[in-house]
Amino acid sequence: MKLAINRSTVIEYSKSIVIAVILAFFLKSFFFETIVVEGTSMQPTLSTGDRIFISKLEYNLNLKRFKKGDVIVFEAPDKDASYIKRVIGLPGDIVKVEDGSVFLNGERLEENYIDEDSYTTSDNESRETLVGDEEIFVIGDNRALGASKDSRRFGSIKQESVRGKAVIRFFPFNQVNEL
């Protein structure tokens, strides 16, 4: 049995493949991206090997609608890598780590996303940090000593360094949830 493929069929398949590739590139560049979590800095929320979708649209449109509690992916200020952390403070906020807790504008922050017995430490425990214009203050959910490189170590990050907001964990399949 011979398989007869004519030229018009090859052209049609080629067009479909090219369109699919362009569409995938466009979606990945401007709308969403998948990320594989590496490291333990976001435990218990996220673990090594978890796969998440990040939404890039609002950041590509320069809307920058950051909210306290958002989990974001950003370009690390201290090396050529990306970090995933939780937004704690927005421009104008005052963040302070004291007595194992995070204080935001003088009020102890209720953090139901960290382990109950977590004790938050900082290199500068007595220092208050004023979050500057176009900046955000981020901390990993794992508060064990040295478990997360975040704003406690390198200060607030520039909003322009944000790649996107984590919206859903889609793997492992038994832990699919919104973030």
Look at residue 63 and tell me if it is in a domain.
yes
Q: Give the structural domain span for 56.
A: 32-173
- pLDDT score for 5: 72
Q: Out of 56, 85, 96, 149, which one is annotated catalytic?
A: 85
Are the beta carbons of 35 and 52 closer than 8 angstroms? yes
- Return the pLDDT at 166: 93
Cα 80 to Cα 74, 85, 102, 111: the distances in Å are 11, 16, 28, 29
Can 41 be counted among the known catalytic residues?
Answer: yes
Residue closest to 46 by CA, chosen among 162, 159, 148: 148
Catalytically annotated residue among 41, 122, 148, 156 = 41
The reply to whether 22 falls in a domain is: no
Element housing 129 (H / E): strand 128-130
Could you give the 3-state DSSP secondary structure of residue 167? strand
Residue 101, in any domain of the structure: yes
Is 41 within the bounds of a domain? yes
CA–CA distance from 51 to each of 20, 34, 84, 170 (Å)?
23, 7, 12, 6
Please list the rounded mean pLDDT of every run of 10 residues in the chain (179 residues). Answer: 70 83 73 88 94 80 76 89 94 92 94 89 77 94 90 91 91 85
Assess if residue 152 is contained within a domain: yes
Q: What is the pLDDT of residue 69?
A: 93
- Domain total of the chain: 1
Asked whether the beta carbons of 68 and 89 are under 8 A apart, the reply is: yes
> Residue 93 sits in a domain of what CATH number?
2.10.109.10
Query: Dihedral through CA 39, CA 130, CA 95, CA 47, nearest 10?
Result: -10
Question: In the prediction, which pLDDT does 11 show?
Answer: 83
Longest dimension (CA), the chain: 80
Q: Specify whether 85 is catalytic.
A: yes
Q: Is residue 82 one of the residues assigned to a domain?
A: yes
